[in-house]
Every structure is written in C-alpha cells, then in structure tokens.
Amino acid sequence: MGRDDASIACTQGKISLWLGKKATGDLIRRILSGIANVDSSVGYESEVICDFDAIEKYESKGYVIVSYARTKGKYRAMFNVPFSKKDALRCFAESILDELRDGDVQKNLLWNGSATKIMLLFTELSDNIKGWQLKRAEFKDDSDRYSRNSGS
C-alpha cells in the first residue's frame, strides 16, 4: 500500500516502510501516527552513535535504552522506539527526515499483525493521507495448500 513517495508492505510480524527522498515531514508523521493508532505496541529498534550524555536526551524523548557500549570514543546505543509514546514518534520522524537528505529510507517495524490489522492500517492511512492506495494484496492460507495436495 502507498503512493509514489512512500509505501508499506505488511506481514504478520513486520511492517516494511519505504520513504522516497521527496517524502515530507508531514507525510512521515501521518504514517507513523496512523500505525500507532492501529497498534500502539509497534516498535522499532534504533541504533545511535553518540556521546554518553546524548543517551539521556533520547530517553527523555521516549526512547527506551536496550543496550549501550563504548566504541571509538563514542557510545553505540540501541533503543526501542515505542509507538505508544508521542514524543518518541516525533523524534523518530525527525531522524527519518534527516536520513532522507542522503536518499531513500527503509525501516522495518515489528508488530503482531493480522489480516484484520493490515486492513485497519490501510483504512487509517487512506483516510488521512491523500493518494494512499492499495498496490497489491497477497494472502497465504496454508489450508488451501493442503486441500490441493491431498489427492481428493
């Protein structure tokens, strides 16, 4: 689902978000907010190389520290970006916008999705983002495979 400057591919365990270089901050915020509205338990694991003091700055914006280690005079910090926290989403959107200066951005978000949640996400985004459309839908049904191969 998506449009020319952004698209989302969903499975039961992952949301793959692609943003083109022309994606705007408003579009990014609407997409992240739409995902959070459908399932606030979605998360993203973000790696940040920063000074030790900056770790607290990220935590104050809602990021949750998972681990950190010293590397080449800085710290390599792993954070979970909880979609249940608006400040964390705002900070995440800003970081994506910064990355877009160098080119297209791909993010893989973790969720416990279902066909119903995927359709809810499509409805949420198409209601709030101009030009959002369903590009392709594939449903895998294991029972179908077994009935075709059963020989009956």
Tens of pLDDT, residues 87-124? 999 999 999 999 999 999 999 999 999 999 999 999 99
The pLDDT confidence band at residue 141, using thresholds 50, 70 and 90, is: low
Q: How confident is the model at residue 81 (pLDDT cuts 50, 70, 90)?
A: very high
pTM above 0.95, yes or no: no
User: Where in the chain are the domains?
Assistant: 2-43+83-136
State the DSSP H helix or E strand holding residue 92, giving kind and residue range, or none if neither: helix 86-100
**Distance separating alpha carbons of residues 35 and 86, to the nearest angstrom:** 12
The Cα angle at residue 126 between residues 133 and 42, in degrees rounded to 5: 105
> What are the φ and ψ backbone dihedral angles of 43, each rounded to 5 degrees?
-140, 160
* Mean pLDDT over each residue of the chain, to the nearest integer: 90
More confident of the two residues 151 and 100: 100
Bridge-based pairing state of the strands 74-82 and 64-71: antiparallel
Do 90 and 29 contact (CB within 8 A), yes or no?
yes
- Mean pLDDT over 53-65 rounds to 95
In the predicted structure, residue 61 carries a pLDDT above the cut 90: yes
Whether the Cβ atoms of residue 121 and residue 34 lie closer than 8 Å to each other: yes
